[in-house]
A and B are shown apart, each in its own frame.
Chain A
Protein backbone atom coordinates (compact mmCIF):
# COMPACT_ATOMS: atom_id res chain seq x y z
CA UNK A 1 0.00 0.00 0.00
CA UNK A 2 1.49 3.33 -1.00
CA UNK A 3 1.71 6.31 1.36
CA UNK A 4 -0.90 8.26 -0.53
CA UNK A 5 -3.52 5.56 -0.61
CA UNK A 6 -3.00 4.82 3.09
CA UNK A 7 -3.41 8.49 3.90
CA UNK A 8 -6.49 8.59 1.72
CA UNK A 9 -7.88 5.54 3.47
CA UNK A 10 -7.37 7.05 6.93
CA UNK A 11 -8.84 10.40 5.91
CA UNK A 12 -11.83 8.71 4.33
CA UNK A 13 -12.29 6.53 7.42
CA UNK A 14 -12.24 9.54 9.73
CA UNK A 15 -14.62 11.43 7.44
CA UNK A 16 -17.08 8.52 7.32
CA UNK A 17 -16.94 8.02 11.10
CA UNK A 18 -17.44 11.76 11.71
CA UNK A 19 -20.29 11.86 9.21
CA UNK A 20 -22.03 8.84 10.72
CA UNK A 21 -21.76 10.03 14.32
CA UNK A 22 -22.76 13.52 13.17
CA UNK A 23 -25.89 12.09 11.58
CA UNK A 24 -26.71 10.07 14.72
CA UNK A 25 -26.29 13.13 16.97
CA UNK A 26 -28.29 15.21 14.48
CA UNK A 27 -31.15 12.71 14.50
CA UNK A 28 -31.21 12.70 18.34
CA UNK A 29 -31.25 16.49 18.47
CA UNK A 30 -33.90 16.71 15.74
CA UNK A 31 -36.13 14.30 17.68
CA UNK A 32 -35.63 16.25 20.87
CA UNK A 33 -36.43 19.62 19.32
CA UNK A 34 -39.47 18.30 17.46
CA UNK A 35 -38.05 18.44 13.95
CA UNK A 36 -39.17 14.96 12.85
CA UNK A 37 -42.67 14.77 11.32
CA UNK A 38 -44.91 11.76 12.07
CA UNK A 39 -44.71 10.66 8.42
CA UNK A 40 -40.90 10.62 8.38
CA UNK A 41 -40.74 6.95 7.37
CA UNK A 42 -41.02 5.55 3.88
CA UNK A 43 -39.84 6.53 0.43
CA UNK A 44 -40.36 10.28 0.82
CA UNK A 45 -39.50 10.52 4.52
CA UNK A 46 -36.12 12.16 3.91
CA UNK A 47 -37.52 15.05 1.87
CA UNK A 48 -40.47 15.47 4.20
CA UNK A 49 -38.22 15.59 7.29
CA UNK A 50 -35.88 18.12 5.65
CA UNK A 51 -38.80 20.35 4.70
CA UNK A 52 -40.47 20.20 8.12
CA UNK A 53 -37.22 20.64 10.05
CA UNK A 54 -36.04 23.53 7.86
CA UNK A 55 -39.38 25.33 8.07
CA UNK A 56 -39.65 24.80 11.83
CA UNK A 57 -36.17 26.25 12.34
CA UNK A 58 -37.05 29.25 10.15
CA UNK A 59 -40.70 29.83 11.01
CA UNK A 60 -41.35 28.87 14.64
CA UNK A 61 -42.55 32.38 15.49
CA UNK A 62 -43.03 33.97 12.07
CA UNK A 63 -46.43 35.43 11.17
CA UNK A 64 -48.43 34.51 8.08
CA UNK A 65 -48.67 37.42 5.68
CA UNK A 66 -51.62 39.72 6.36
CA UNK A 67 -53.49 41.62 3.67
CA UNK A 68 -55.45 44.87 3.50
CA UNK A 69 -59.26 45.09 3.31
CA UNK A 70 -59.07 45.95 -0.37
CA UNK A 71 -57.28 42.67 -1.06
CA UNK A 72 -60.11 40.48 0.26
CA UNK A 73 -61.22 38.22 -2.61
CA UNK A 74 -64.57 39.11 -4.14
CA UNK A 75 -64.88 35.57 -5.48
CA UNK A 76 -63.71 33.16 -2.78
CA UNK A 77 -64.05 29.49 -3.64
CA UNK A 78 -65.53 27.14 -1.02
CA UNK A 79 -64.37 23.80 -2.50
CA UNK A 80 -67.18 21.30 -2.00
CA UNK A 81 -66.49 18.80 0.74
CA UNK A 82 -66.44 15.11 0.07
CA UNK A 83 -68.44 13.17 1.21
CA UNK A 84 -71.40 15.59 1.36
CA UNK A 85 -72.70 16.66 4.76
CA UNK A 86 -75.07 14.15 6.27
CA UNK A 87 -78.40 14.27 8.12
CA UNK A 88 -76.76 14.72 11.50
CA UNK A 89 -75.18 17.94 10.24
CA UNK A 90 -78.39 19.09 8.59
CA UNK A 91 -80.33 18.63 11.84
CA UNK A 92 -77.75 20.73 13.71
CA UNK A 93 -77.88 23.38 11.00
CA UNK A 94 -81.70 23.51 11.09
CA UNK A 95 -81.58 24.96 14.62
CA UNK A 96 -78.76 27.37 13.92
CA UNK A 97 -76.09 25.08 15.36
CA UNK A 98 -77.43 25.79 18.87
CA UNK A 99 -76.47 22.22 19.82
CA UNK A 100 -73.02 22.27 18.19
CA UNK A 101 -70.35 21.24 20.70
CA UNK A 102 -66.57 21.47 20.74
CA UNK A 103 -64.99 18.91 23.05
CA UNK A 104 -61.43 19.42 24.29
CA UNK A 105 -59.86 16.32 25.82
CA UNK A 106 -56.67 14.30 26.03
CA UNK A 107 -53.86 15.74 28.15
CA UNK A 108 -55.91 18.76 29.19
CA UNK A 109 -55.84 19.60 32.91
CA UNK A 110 -59.56 20.47 32.79
CA UNK A 111 -61.16 18.70 29.79
CA UNK A 112 -64.25 20.58 28.68
CA UNK A 113 -67.05 20.69 26.18
CA UNK A 114 -68.01 24.13 24.87
CA UNK A 115 -71.20 25.16 23.14
CA UNK A 116 -71.01 27.29 20.00
CA UNK A 117 -72.33 30.25 22.04
CA UNK A 118 -69.50 29.84 24.54
CA UNK A 119 -66.90 29.70 21.77
CA UNK A 120 -68.36 32.89 20.29
CA UNK A 121 -68.14 34.60 23.70
CA UNK A 122 -64.38 33.99 23.88
CA UNK A 123 -61.96 36.83 23.01
CA UNK A 124 -61.51 37.01 19.27
CA UNK A 125 -58.70 37.60 16.85
CA UNK A 126 -59.41 38.92 13.36
CA UNK A 127 -56.98 38.47 10.50
CA UNK A 128 -56.99 38.96 6.72
CA UNK A 129 -54.99 36.06 5.39
CA UNK A 130 -54.55 33.92 2.31
CA UNK A 131 -55.96 30.42 2.20
CA UNK A 132 -54.18 28.37 -0.37
CA UNK A 133 -55.02 24.87 -1.60
CA UNK A 134 -52.42 22.23 -2.41
CA UNK A 135 -54.01 22.12 -5.89
CA UNK A 136 -52.79 25.64 -6.62
CA UNK A 137 -55.78 27.95 -6.15
CA UNK A 138 -56.34 30.49 -3.39
CA UNK A 139 -58.34 33.38 -1.98
CA UNK A 140 -57.95 36.07 0.68
CA UNK A 141 -60.57 36.46 3.41
CA UNK A 142 -61.02 38.08 6.80
CA UNK A 143 -61.30 35.43 9.48
CA UNK A 144 -62.51 35.95 13.04
CA UNK A 145 -62.39 33.40 15.82
CA UNK A 146 -61.10 32.36 19.20
CA UNK A 147 -57.33 31.89 19.21
CA UNK A 148 -56.63 28.20 19.70
CA UNK A 149 -54.02 29.20 22.31
CA UNK A 150 -56.81 30.82 24.37
CA UNK A 151 -58.87 27.62 24.34
CA UNK A 152 -55.79 25.56 25.25
CA UNK A 153 -55.08 27.93 28.15
CA UNK A 154 -58.65 27.55 29.34
CA UNK A 155 -58.47 23.77 29.52
CA UNK A 156 -54.92 23.86 30.85
CA UNK A 157 -52.10 22.55 28.73
CA UNK A 158 -48.63 21.47 29.82
CA UNK A 159 -45.11 21.35 28.37
CA UNK A 160 -45.59 17.61 27.78
CA UNK A 161 -48.27 18.30 25.19
CA UNK A 162 -46.66 18.22 21.75
CA UNK A 163 -49.58 18.07 19.32
CA UNK A 164 -53.22 19.02 19.04
CA UNK A 165 -55.36 16.53 17.12
CA UNK A 166 -58.54 18.02 15.67
CA UNK A 167 -61.55 16.31 14.22
CA UNK A 168 -64.44 17.23 11.97
CA UNK A 169 -68.03 16.09 12.15
CA UNK A 170 -67.01 14.21 9.01
CA UNK A 171 -65.12 11.19 10.38
CA UNK A 172 -62.87 11.02 7.29
CA UNK A 173 -61.25 14.33 8.15
CA UNK A 174 -58.95 14.56 11.11
CA UNK A 175 -55.69 16.45 11.38
CA UNK A 176 -53.03 17.46 13.85
CA UNK A 177 -50.56 20.31 14.31
CA UNK A 178 -47.49 20.76 16.50
CA UNK A 179 -47.40 23.30 19.33
CA UNK A 180 -45.57 25.88 17.18
CA UNK A 181 -48.77 26.11 15.14
CA UNK A 182 -51.24 25.31 17.95
CA UNK A 183 -49.97 28.16 20.16
CA UNK A 184 -49.38 30.50 17.21
CA UNK A 185 -51.40 33.73 17.60
CA UNK A 186 -52.89 33.41 14.11
CA UNK A 187 -54.24 29.89 14.65
CA UNK A 188 -57.98 30.25 15.28
CA UNK A 189 -61.14 28.32 15.86
CA UNK A 190 -62.83 30.56 13.30
CA UNK A 191 -66.57 31.27 13.38
CA UNK A 192 -66.80 34.41 11.24
CA UNK A 193 -65.64 35.21 7.70
CA UNK A 194 -65.63 38.62 5.99
CA UNK A 195 -67.67 40.17 8.82
CA UNK A 196 -70.50 37.61 8.79
CA UNK A 197 -71.19 34.17 10.27
CA UNK A 198 -68.83 31.62 8.73
CA UNK A 199 -70.88 30.16 5.85
CA UNK A 200 -71.37 26.39 5.87
CA UNK A 201 -69.60 25.82 2.52
CA UNK A 202 -66.52 27.55 3.99
CA UNK A 203 -66.57 25.42 7.15
CA UNK A 204 -69.23 26.97 9.38
CA UNK A 205 -70.01 26.87 12.20
CA UNK A 206 -66.38 26.18 13.27
CA UNK A 207 -63.25 25.83 11.19
CA UNK A 208 -59.70 25.45 12.41
CA UNK A 209 -57.72 28.18 10.67
CA UNK A 210 -53.95 27.64 10.53
CA UNK A 211 -52.81 30.21 7.96
CA UNK A 212 -49.19 29.04 7.69
CA UNK A 213 -50.36 25.72 6.24
CA UNK A 214 -52.35 24.71 3.17
CA UNK A 215 -56.12 24.41 2.93
CA UNK A 216 -56.36 20.74 3.83
CA UNK A 217 -54.97 21.44 7.31
CA UNK A 218 -57.74 24.05 7.78
CA UNK A 219 -60.38 21.46 8.61
CA UNK A 220 -64.06 22.42 8.44
CA UNK A 221 -66.86 21.57 10.96
CA UNK A 222 -64.59 21.09 13.99
CA UNK A 223 -66.07 19.07 16.88
CA UNK A 224 -63.14 17.87 18.95
CA UNK A 225 -59.62 18.83 19.99
CA UNK A 226 -57.32 16.30 21.65
CA UNK A 227 -54.07 17.30 23.37
CA UNK A 228 -51.40 14.64 23.14
CA UNK A 229 -47.69 13.98 23.54
CA UNK A 230 -47.64 11.44 20.72
CA UNK A 231 -49.45 10.88 17.44
CA UNK A 232 -48.81 7.13 17.46
CA UNK A 233 -52.18 6.13 19.02
CA UNK A 234 -54.19 8.05 16.41
CA UNK A 235 -55.26 6.20 13.28
CA UNK A 236 -52.28 4.55 11.64
CA UNK A 237 -49.89 6.69 13.69
CA UNK A 238 -48.94 8.95 10.78
CA UNK A 239 -50.36 12.08 12.40
CA UNK A 240 -53.57 12.66 10.43
CA UNK A 241 -55.86 11.43 7.71
CA UNK A 242 -53.66 13.20 5.11
CA UNK A 243 -50.69 10.78 5.18
CA UNK A 244 -53.12 7.86 5.30
CA UNK A 245 -54.39 9.13 1.97
CA UNK A 246 -50.87 9.65 0.62
CA UNK A 247 -50.51 13.36 1.45
CA UNK A 248 -47.85 15.01 3.61
CA UNK A 249 -48.70 15.65 7.25
CA UNK A 250 -46.90 18.99 7.22
CA UNK A 251 -48.35 21.39 4.69
CA UNK A 252 -46.29 24.57 5.07
CA UNK A 253 -45.22 24.17 1.44
Chain B
Protein backbone atom coordinates (compact mmCIF):
# COMPACT_ATOMS: atom_id res chain seq x y z
CA UNK B 1 0.00 0.00 0.00
CA UNK B 2 2.99 2.26 0.30
CA UNK B 3 3.47 2.14 -3.42
CA UNK B 4 2.56 5.78 -3.49
CA UNK B 5 5.07 6.84 -0.89
CA UNK B 6 8.02 7.34 -3.26
CA UNK B 7 5.70 9.43 -5.39
CA UNK B 8 4.86 11.57 -2.45
CA UNK B 9 8.53 12.32 -2.04
CA UNK B 10 9.06 13.04 -5.68
CA UNK B 11 6.04 15.21 -5.58
CA UNK B 12 7.59 17.56 -3.08
CA UNK B 13 9.40 18.94 -6.07
CA UNK B 14 11.12 21.97 -4.69
CA UNK B 15 11.96 20.50 -1.28
CA UNK B 16 15.50 19.26 -1.54
CA UNK B 17 15.32 16.46 0.99
CA UNK B 18 13.40 13.41 -0.04
CA UNK B 19 12.24 12.78 3.53
CA UNK B 20 9.55 15.33 3.96
CA UNK B 21 8.92 14.22 7.51
CA UNK B 22 12.30 15.54 8.61
CA UNK B 23 11.59 19.04 7.34
CA UNK B 24 10.20 21.34 9.97
CA UNK B 25 8.84 23.55 7.21
CA UNK B 26 6.90 20.64 5.78
CA UNK B 27 3.57 22.05 6.85
CA UNK B 28 4.16 25.14 4.71
CA UNK B 29 4.48 23.18 1.48
CA UNK B 30 1.64 23.58 -0.92
CA UNK B 31 -0.16 20.48 -2.11
CA UNK B 32 -1.30 22.17 -5.33
CA UNK B 33 0.57 25.08 -6.89
CA UNK B 34 -1.30 28.30 -7.55
CA UNK B 35 -1.36 27.55 -11.29
CA UNK B 36 -2.99 24.17 -10.72
CA UNK B 37 -5.58 25.64 -8.36
CA UNK B 38 -6.50 28.60 -10.60
CA UNK B 39 -6.72 26.51 -13.78
CA UNK B 40 -8.66 23.79 -11.94
CA UNK B 41 -11.43 26.17 -10.89
CA UNK B 42 -11.50 28.05 -14.21
CA UNK B 43 -11.90 24.69 -15.95
CA UNK B 44 -14.65 23.73 -13.51
CA UNK B 45 -16.50 26.95 -14.28
CA UNK B 46 -16.09 26.55 -18.04
CA UNK B 47 -17.03 22.86 -17.95
CA UNK B 48 -20.24 23.42 -16.00
CA UNK B 49 -21.24 26.27 -18.35
CA UNK B 50 -20.49 24.04 -21.37
CA UNK B 51 -22.43 21.15 -19.86
CA UNK B 52 -25.57 23.14 -19.05
CA UNK B 53 -25.62 25.03 -22.35
CA UNK B 54 -24.69 21.92 -24.34
CA UNK B 55 -27.48 19.90 -22.72
CA UNK B 56 -29.85 22.73 -23.56
CA UNK B 57 -28.77 22.74 -27.21
CA UNK B 58 -29.23 18.95 -27.44
CA UNK B 59 -32.89 19.42 -26.39
CA UNK B 60 -33.57 21.26 -29.65
CA UNK B 61 -32.72 18.04 -31.51
CA UNK B 62 -32.28 15.10 -29.09
CA UNK B 63 -31.34 12.64 -31.85
CA UNK B 64 -27.92 11.56 -33.14
CA UNK B 65 -26.71 10.35 -36.53
CA UNK B 66 -23.56 9.02 -38.17
CA UNK B 67 -22.04 10.46 -41.33
CA UNK B 68 -22.42 13.90 -42.87
CA UNK B 69 -26.15 14.53 -42.58
CA UNK B 70 -29.05 13.84 -40.27
CA UNK B 71 -32.53 15.25 -39.77
CA UNK B 72 -36.00 14.17 -38.64
CA UNK B 73 -36.60 12.45 -42.00
CA UNK B 74 -33.64 10.15 -41.32
CA UNK B 75 -33.08 7.32 -38.85
CA UNK B 76 -30.96 8.29 -35.86
CA UNK B 77 -28.60 5.76 -34.27
CA UNK B 78 -29.54 7.25 -30.92
CA UNK B 79 -32.83 8.84 -29.92
CA UNK B 80 -32.75 10.17 -26.37
CA UNK B 81 -36.57 10.11 -26.19
CA UNK B 82 -36.55 13.46 -24.43
CA UNK B 83 -39.03 16.28 -24.90
CA UNK B 84 -37.72 18.85 -27.39
CA UNK B 85 -37.66 22.63 -27.62
CA UNK B 86 -38.77 22.35 -31.26
CA UNK B 87 -42.22 21.39 -32.51
CA UNK B 88 -40.62 19.92 -35.66
CA UNK B 89 -39.01 17.04 -33.72
CA UNK B 90 -41.32 14.03 -33.30
CA UNK B 91 -40.82 13.18 -29.62
CA UNK B 92 -44.10 11.55 -28.63
CA UNK B 93 -44.54 14.16 -25.90
CA UNK B 94 -47.59 16.40 -26.12
CA UNK B 95 -45.69 19.58 -25.37
CA UNK B 96 -42.75 21.64 -26.64
CA UNK B 97 -40.12 23.05 -24.28
CA UNK B 98 -39.28 26.76 -24.42
CA UNK B 99 -36.49 27.68 -26.84
CA UNK B 100 -33.30 28.46 -24.90
CA UNK B 101 -30.79 28.02 -27.73
CA UNK B 102 -29.94 31.72 -28.11
CA UNK B 103 -28.17 32.24 -24.79
CA UNK B 104 -27.11 28.58 -24.70
CA UNK B 105 -25.14 28.93 -27.91
CA UNK B 106 -23.66 32.29 -26.86
CA UNK B 107 -22.65 30.83 -23.47
CA UNK B 108 -21.38 27.58 -25.00
CA UNK B 109 -18.86 29.30 -27.26
CA UNK B 110 -17.81 31.85 -24.65
CA UNK B 111 -17.17 29.05 -22.14
CA UNK B 112 -15.35 27.09 -24.86
CA UNK B 113 -12.92 30.00 -25.29
CA UNK B 114 -12.34 30.04 -21.52
CA UNK B 115 -11.80 26.26 -21.47
CA UNK B 116 -9.38 26.37 -24.41
CA UNK B 117 -7.40 29.33 -23.03
CA UNK B 118 -7.21 27.75 -19.57
CA UNK B 119 -6.29 24.37 -21.01
CA UNK B 120 -3.51 25.84 -23.16
CA UNK B 121 -2.10 27.76 -20.20
CA UNK B 122 -2.20 24.66 -18.00
CA UNK B 123 -0.66 22.30 -20.56
CA UNK B 124 2.13 24.71 -21.60
CA UNK B 125 2.92 25.48 -17.96
CA UNK B 126 2.70 21.79 -17.07
CA UNK B 127 5.17 20.81 -19.78
CA UNK B 128 7.71 23.56 -19.10
CA UNK B 129 7.36 23.38 -15.34
CA UNK B 130 7.69 19.61 -15.19
CA UNK B 131 4.24 19.25 -13.62
CA UNK B 132 3.24 16.38 -15.89
CA UNK B 133 6.60 14.62 -15.54
CA UNK B 134 6.67 14.99 -11.76
CA UNK B 135 3.04 14.77 -10.73
CA UNK B 136 0.90 13.26 -13.46
CA UNK B 137 2.78 10.67 -15.54
CA UNK B 138 2.64 7.37 -13.63
CA UNK B 139 5.89 5.70 -12.59
CA UNK B 140 6.58 2.64 -14.78
CA UNK B 141 6.69 0.48 -11.64
CA UNK B 142 3.11 1.48 -10.85
CA UNK B 143 1.87 0.25 -14.21
CA UNK B 144 2.27 -3.45 -13.41
CA UNK B 145 -0.87 -5.57 -13.33
CA UNK B 146 -0.30 -6.16 -9.60
CA UNK B 147 -0.07 -2.47 -8.69
CA UNK B 148 -2.97 -1.48 -10.92
CA UNK B 149 -5.07 -4.30 -9.49
CA UNK B 150 -4.24 -3.28 -5.93
CA UNK B 151 -5.13 0.33 -6.63
CA UNK B 152 -8.38 -0.71 -8.28
CA UNK B 153 -9.34 -2.85 -5.29
CA UNK B 154 -8.69 0.05 -2.94
CA UNK B 155 -10.92 2.28 -5.04
CA UNK B 156 -13.68 -0.31 -5.27
CA UNK B 157 -13.65 -0.67 -1.48
CA UNK B 158 -13.90 3.14 -1.18
CA UNK B 159 -10.88 2.92 1.09
CA UNK B 160 -9.90 6.26 2.55
CA UNK B 161 -6.33 7.08 1.44
CA UNK B 162 -3.62 7.52 4.04
CA UNK B 163 -2.16 10.91 4.93
CA UNK B 164 0.95 10.33 2.81
CA UNK B 165 -1.25 9.67 -0.18
CA UNK B 166 -2.76 13.13 0.15
CA UNK B 167 0.51 14.45 -1.24
CA UNK B 168 0.38 12.65 -4.53
CA UNK B 169 -1.99 11.35 -7.17
CA UNK B 170 -2.35 7.57 -7.16
CA UNK B 171 -1.83 5.57 -10.33
CA UNK B 172 -5.50 5.34 -11.37
CA UNK B 173 -5.91 9.04 -10.72
CA UNK B 174 -2.89 9.76 -12.91
CA UNK B 175 -4.19 7.62 -15.76
CA UNK B 176 -7.68 9.14 -15.65
CA UNK B 177 -6.31 12.69 -15.49
CA UNK B 178 -4.07 11.97 -18.48
CA UNK B 179 -7.04 10.61 -20.44
CA UNK B 180 -9.13 13.68 -19.60
CA UNK B 181 -6.36 16.20 -20.33
CA UNK B 182 -4.80 14.64 -23.42
CA UNK B 183 -7.63 12.62 -24.97
CA UNK B 184 -11.11 13.81 -23.98
CA UNK B 185 -10.54 17.57 -23.87
CA UNK B 186 -8.73 17.64 -27.25
CA UNK B 187 -11.46 15.38 -28.67
CA UNK B 188 -14.15 17.79 -27.43
CA UNK B 189 -12.39 20.74 -29.07
CA UNK B 190 -11.80 18.85 -32.30
CA UNK B 191 -15.35 17.48 -32.63
CA UNK B 192 -16.76 20.87 -31.63
CA UNK B 193 -14.80 22.71 -34.32
CA UNK B 194 -15.62 19.97 -36.85
CA UNK B 195 -19.28 21.01 -36.57
CA UNK B 196 -18.50 24.64 -37.48
CA UNK B 197 -19.27 25.52 -41.10
CA UNK B 198 -16.82 28.42 -40.93
CA UNK B 199 -13.98 26.45 -39.38
CA UNK B 200 -14.34 23.47 -41.73
CA UNK B 201 -14.31 25.77 -44.76
CA UNK B 202 -10.72 26.60 -43.80
CA UNK B 203 -9.84 23.16 -42.38
CA UNK B 204 -12.00 20.58 -44.18
CA UNK B 205 -9.84 17.70 -42.94
CA UNK B 206 -11.01 18.41 -39.39
CA UNK B 207 -14.41 16.98 -40.30
CA UNK B 208 -13.40 14.61 -43.15
CA UNK B 209 -11.09 12.62 -40.85
CA UNK B 210 -13.98 12.08 -38.45
CA UNK B 211 -16.33 10.90 -41.19
CA UNK B 212 -18.79 13.77 -41.28
CA UNK B 213 -20.43 16.60 -39.39
CA UNK B 214 -23.09 14.40 -37.76
CA UNK B 215 -20.43 11.91 -36.67
CA UNK B 216 -18.59 14.84 -35.09
CA UNK B 217 -21.79 15.80 -33.26
CA UNK B 218 -22.31 12.22 -32.05
CA UNK B 219 -18.70 11.93 -30.84
CA UNK B 220 -19.03 15.32 -29.11
CA UNK B 221 -22.01 13.91 -27.22
CA UNK B 222 -20.30 10.59 -26.37
CA UNK B 223 -17.18 12.36 -25.11
CA UNK B 224 -19.46 14.53 -22.94
CA UNK B 225 -20.86 11.40 -21.32
CA UNK B 226 -17.33 10.20 -20.53
CA UNK B 227 -16.43 13.60 -19.06
CA UNK B 228 -19.57 13.61 -16.90
CA UNK B 229 -18.69 10.10 -15.75
CA UNK B 230 -15.23 11.37 -14.85
CA UNK B 231 -16.75 14.32 -12.97
CA UNK B 232 -19.01 12.03 -10.93
CA UNK B 233 -16.19 9.65 -9.98
CA UNK B 234 -13.87 12.60 -9.29
CA UNK B 235 -16.34 14.22 -6.87
CA UNK B 236 -17.17 10.89 -5.19
CA UNK B 237 -13.45 10.27 -4.66
CA UNK B 238 -13.05 13.75 -3.14
CA UNK B 239 -15.70 12.80 -0.60
CA UNK B 240 -14.12 9.38 0.04
CA UNK B 241 -10.69 10.94 0.57
CA UNK B 242 -12.06 13.68 2.83
CA UNK B 243 -14.05 16.57 1.41
CA UNK B 244 -12.67 19.27 3.73
CA UNK B 245 -8.99 18.45 3.31
CA UNK B 246 -9.20 17.96 -0.47
CA UNK B 247 -11.19 21.16 -1.00
CA UNK B 248 -8.82 23.09 1.23
CA UNK B 249 -5.86 21.74 -0.74
CA UNK B 250 -7.42 22.80 -4.06
CA UNK B 251 -8.53 26.22 -2.76
CA UNK B 252 -5.72 27.37 -0.45
CA UNK B 253 -3.03 24.94 -1.54
CA UNK B 254 -2.46 23.76 2.03
CA UNK B 255 -2.81 20.14 3.02
CA UNK B 256 -2.26 18.15 6.16
CA UNK B 257 1.37 17.30 6.68
CA UNK B 258 1.98 13.56 6.65
CA UNK B 259 3.67 13.90 10.08
CA UNK B 260 0.70 15.47 11.79
Contact = CB atoms under 8 A, between A and B. Distances in A.
Contacts of A23: none
Given A76-B73, A130-B69, A64 B106 contact: no
Nearest to B62: A136
B102 A212 contact: no
A138 B71 contact: yes
Contact of A132 (B88, B109, B197): B197
A160 interface: no
A138 B198 contact: no
A12 to B, nearest CB: 15
Interface stretch (A2-10, A14-22, A41-49, A164-172): A41-49
A223 B125 CA distance: 54
A208 to B, nearest CB: 15
Contacts of B112: 47
A136 B61 contact: yes
Interface string A56-79: 001100111101000101011101
B201 A59 contact: yes
B224 interface: no
B61 A46 contact: no
Interface string B166-179: 00000000000000
Contacts of A76: 71, 73
Contact of B106 (A133, A137, A248): A248
Nearest to A217: B197
Contacts of B103: 44, 246
A206 B200 CA distance: 26
Q: Which of B58, B201, B204 has the most CB of A within 10 A?
A: B201
A51 interface: yes
B3 to A, nearest CB: 40
Contact of A77 (B73, B101, B204): B73
Contacts of B71: 73, 75-77, 137-139
Nearest to B217: A136
Interface in A102-120: none
B79 interface: no
A47 B107 CA distance: 8
Given A44-B110, A50-B113, A65-B204, A134 B105 contact: yes
Sorting the interface of chain B by its residue count into under 10, 10 to 19, 20 to 34 or 35 or more gives 35 or more
A95 interface: no
Please tell me the size bucket of the interface on A: 35 or more
Nearest to A252: B198
A31 interface: no
A253 interface: yes
Interface string B88-124: 1000000000000111011101111100000000000
B75 to A, nearest CB: 10
Contacts of A213: 197-198
Contacts of B68: 67, 71, 130, 138, 140
Contacts of A50: 113
A247 B71 CA distance: 21
B196 interface: yes
B213 interface: yes
B106 A47 contact: yes
Interface in A172-218: 211-214
Nearest to B202: A62
A48 B197 contact: no
Interface string B197-211: 111111110010000
Interface of B: 57-58, 60-61, 63, 68-74, 86, 88, 101-103, 105-107, 109-113, 195-204, 207, 213-214, 217
Which 7 A-B pairs rank lowest in CB-CB distance, beginning with the nearest? A47-B110, A252-B198, A246-B102, A75-B73, A44-B106, A77-B71, A136-B61
Given A136-B58, A140-B69, A248-B109, 7 more contacts: A43-B106, A47-B110, A58-B202, A62-B201, A136-B61, A246-B102, A247-B105
